[in-house]
Amino acid sequence: MNLLIIQPTGDKFGHFGITTTMLSYELASLGHNVTVVTNKLEISKFISPGKLNFKVIEVDNGKYCIEKFEREIAIHPLKYWFRYFLNSFVILKAALNLNKLEKFHGIYLTDCEFGVASFLLKLNSSKLPPIIMQINASNFSFKDYPGNFFKRLYKSIQKEILRLAIGREISAFSIFGSWHSSRLRKQLRIKSENFPIRIIPDAVTYISKPLTLIEARSKLGIKYTGNIFLFLGLLRQDKGLEDLAQAINILKNEKKDFAVIIAGFPFDYKESEIIKLFQIDQPDNRIIHHFLSYVSDEEISNYYFAADCLLLPYNEKYKGSTGPLTKGACTYSIPVIVSDISEMGRITSDYNFGFVFKPGDPLELAGQMSKFLSLPSDEKNILKYNTIKFGKDNSWSAMAKRYENLFLELQGGIKY
């Protein structure tokens, strides 16, 4: 098949770049011709240039970089959102123009603003092959979308615009877990059970040469030899940071021996707010290392390999995907303590690679952290082994195969 992948935010913080790159690579490895139209994609971070087997088109030579706007979102939020809408329009329009010139058998559309995407797809509806749209979060309602009144109001309008393209220009949704499926059908009022909302789990990268605990801690300048918990990722209001801070204080008052690493970009917070929340400037805090900025791909493994357990204390505002679990715990074979939110709680319980607690309950979070601290080393190793098993079941090649089958199904082909 001749496949077109459209990614307007390839350099955005998080898992956008690696997902686009690895999915494209594995689809091309299956024998398909793959073209990626994007704003900017740093492919060399994920595969060596000699292994590049798909075509990449960076619109206007990477002019529409979004990373620098994301770094300043706390200071200039309107600039960021304007850039996001602009990228969605410009990159998708360029891709659809390419589609008019070249016959594609299918399009995978991801991380594009849904209102803009629906509008442009409507304008080009006569020339479109089957389109799979990736949905990362089931938050298409005034109640579920985080943010102020105006953001929630726009989300409600956006939903109605998106609904006009469902089953017409958009042939299927792909989602990361079953938790999103029923919610999306209800939120978007999709009455037809024939419209595919296909569960294609997030993929896990295999690390062939992991660092030892000692090596990783040495790279970070950490001399502490006890159990270390890690919180890593964008510091957003749906990540449960307040609950984590309370849980740390509970364990500290119980005289537990542990330490915590906090690393990530303060997306919804100021740096001073994070320092105050976790009492980082106090002599008796348990934060032995903090890096309040975006952790580069070159450095991220140091943090995971330096820790004994990953913390994902997200609260009920979180409506996102399983990326923090798969790209974190499962990629680096580290046990996890996760709130029972989204699909992450179910996966953690089903595969038994960590502990689950009720979101928004710092006392229960502290209890699960205490439980982990008391585990003997052989039981911790079992949790690590189970993350590896999950990774083998959900590799990048497995993800690509699932998309291949969905494209064939949408074309009336036979799945194999």
Q: Do 375 and 301 fall within a single domain?
A: yes
Whether the per-residue pLDDT at 415 is higher than 60: the answer is no
For 39-58, how does the pLDDT look when each residue is reduced to its tens digit (9 = 90+)? 999 999 889 888 999 999 99
198's tokens: 């296909």
At residue 14 the predicted structure's pLDDT band, cuts being 50, 70 and 90, is confident
Structure confidence at residue 328 (pLDDT): 84
Structure confidence at residue 365 (pLDDT): 97
Whether the per-residue pLDDT at 192 is higher than 80: the answer is no
Whether 269 maps to a domain, the answer reads: yes
Q: Please report, for the domain that includes residue 86, its CATH number.
A: 3.40.50.2000
CA distances from 158 to 60, 119, 128, 280 (A): 28, 10, 22, 40
Write the DSSP assignment of 377-396 as a string of letters: HHHHHHHHHHHHHHHHHTBH
Q: Do 220 and 198 fall within a single domain?
A: no
**Do 235 and 274 contact (CB within 8 A), yes or no?**
yes
CA distances from 262 to 9, 51, 369 (A): 26, 35, 16
For 364-384, how does the pLDDT look when each residue is reduced to its tens digit (9 = 90+)? 999 999 999 999 999 999 999
Q: At what angle do helices 77-101 and 114-123 cross, to 10 degrees?
A: 30
For 398-411, how does the pLDDT look when each residue is reduced to its tens digit (9 = 90+)? 999 999 999 999 98
Report the distance separating Cα 175 and Cα 158, nearest Å.
19
Q: Do 109 and 94 fall within a single domain?
A: yes
CA atoms within 13 A on the CB side of 317: 13
SS3 69: helix
Whether 241 maps to a domain, the answer reads: yes
Mean pLDDT of 310-337: 87
Q: Do 170 and 257 fall within a single domain?
A: no
3-state percent breakdown (helix, strand, coil) of the chain, nearest 5 = 45, 15, 40
Mean pLDDT of 94-110: 95
Mean pLDDT of 306-330: 87
What is the rounded average pLDDT for all residues in the chain?
Answer: 91
Mean pLDDT of 148-160: 85
Whether 59 maps to a domain, the answer reads: yes
Q: Do 348 and 230 fall within a single domain?
A: yes
Structure confidence at residue 5 (pLDDT): 98
Report the distance separating Cα 231 and Cα 295, nearest Å.
12
Total of domains in the chain:
2
Where in the sequence is the domain holding 174, given as residue range(s)? 2-203+395-410
Q: Do 222 and 369 fall within a single domain?
A: yes
Q: Do 271 and 173 fall within a single domain?
A: no
Report the distance separating Cα 288 and Cα 26, nearest Å.
39
Structure confidence at residue 313 (pLDDT): 96
Report the distance separating Cα 346 and Cα 341, nearest Å.
8
Q: Do 198 and 275 fall within a single domain?
A: no
Q: Do 80 and 187 fall within a single domain?
A: yes
Structure confidence at residue 191 (pLDDT): 82
Q: Do 345 and 235 fall within a single domain?
A: yes
Report the distance separating Cα 6 and Cα 108, nearest Å.
6
159's tokens: 């939903």
Structure confidence at residue 23 (pLDDT): 96
Report the distance separating Cα 9 and Cα 65, nearest Å.
8
Whether 46 maps to a domain, the answer reads: yes
At residue 64 the predicted structure's pLDDT band, cuts being 50, 70 and 90, is very high
Whether 415 maps to a domain, the answer reads: no
Structure confidence at residue 145 (pLDDT): 76
Q: Which of 361, 49, 335, 395 is nearest to 205 (CA)?
A: 395
* Residue corresponding to tokens 């190793």: 381
* Residue corresponding to tokens 């002019």: 63
Whether the per-residue pLDDT at 297 is higher than 90: the answer is no
Whether 39 maps to a domain, the answer reads: yes
Q: Which of 203, 139, 234, 172 is nearest to 411 (CA)?
A: 172
Render the burial of 61-94: b for 16+ CB within 10 Å, e for the rest.
eeebbbbebbbebeeeeeebeebbebbbbbbbbb
Q: Do 219 and 366 fall within a single domain?
A: yes
Single-letter residue type at 3? L
Report the distance separating Cα 134 and Cα 200, nearest Å.
10
Whether 416 maps to a domain, the answer reads: no
Cα-flanking dihedrals φ and ψ of residue 177, to 5°? -160, 160
Which residues are paired to 309 by β-bridges?
229
**Do 229 and 251 contact (CB within 8 A), yes or no?**
no
SS3 302: helix
Indicate if the alpha-carbon torsion angle 370, 374, 376, 379 is positive or negative. Answer: negative
Whether 208 maps to a domain, the answer reads: no
Q: Do 54 and 111 fall within a single domain?
A: yes
Render the burial of 362-393: b for 16+ CB within 10 Å, e for the rest.
bebbbbbbeebbebeeeebeebeebbeebbee
At residue 414 the predicted structure's pLDDT band, cuts being 50, 70 and 90, is very low
SS3 56: strand
User: E strand or H helix at 338, and its extent?
Assistant: strand 336-339
Phi-psi domain of 356 (left: phi exceeds 0; alpha: psi -120 through 50; beta: other): beta
319's tokens: 């409506």
Ranges 25-39, 88-102, 341-355: which has the least confidence: 341-355
